[in-house]
Amino acid sequence: MASPPATAFSTATSTATYTATLPSISLVYRVWLLYLEPVFALNGAALCVFAPALFLNTFSPHLTYAPSNQIIYDQLAATYALFAFNQAIVLRVAQDIRVWKAILGGILMCDTVHLWAGWKVMVQEGNTWPMGWRAEDWVAVLLLVLPGAMRVAFLMDVGIGKMGAEEGELGVQGLRNSAKVDKKTG
């Protein structure tokens, strides 16, 4: 029996070689991005679904929860759950620094919009002076600013090791490249 004709996709994927390009990543990034932040994101998702009034209060004590708007909270919960999945699962299996940077860049964009939206509420309420902030305000701002700064540092390669076989390049191609280097030098 003849084998089915190769499609462009199957031909490309079966003959292409892939070199993983994930360098060494600082333990601080790994702990925060793979463990802690996904837990925070899932907590935010749970608050949006099960305690939306409490979630809303973290941004302003003057805003009132309306059950007719629950769909917005549920959709935000879905976004937080996606962030948690991307960080806890996708980043663990991704062997390419570009995937890490794309995901973290997208989350940074979201963080920026969250900060802007929160700032708008603070301006409307005349609450822009940090000394007048509630504990909830501080937590909301710091949980966006500090991880945002960490994402900027990651995107700028701060705390990211060099790539290459001699630095522990991952994947089969990295092992092949390492073996080629050994044959040439040995």
| pLDDT exceeds 70 at position 185 | no
- Exposure string of 156-185, with b = 16+ CB inside 10 Å and e = fewer, is eeeebeebebeeebbbeebeebeeeeeeee
- Mean pLDDT within 37-64: 95
Tokens of 47: 């608050």
Domain-wise residue ranges, the chain = 24-156
Tokens of 151: 């994402």
| pLDDT exceeds 90 at position 169 | no
**Angle in degrees, CA 72, 74, 75, rounded to 5:** 65
Closest Cα to residue 112, out of 162, 161, 152? 152
Tell me which of 16-20, 41-45, 81-85 is least confident: 16-20
Residues 136-156: tens digit of each pLDDT? 999 999 999 999 999 999 999
- Mean pLDDT within 108-115: 96
What pLDDT score was predicted for residue 184?
A: 52
Q: For residue 98, what pLDDT band results from cuts at 50, 70 and 90?
A: very high
Q: What element of type H or E holds 155? A: helix 135-155
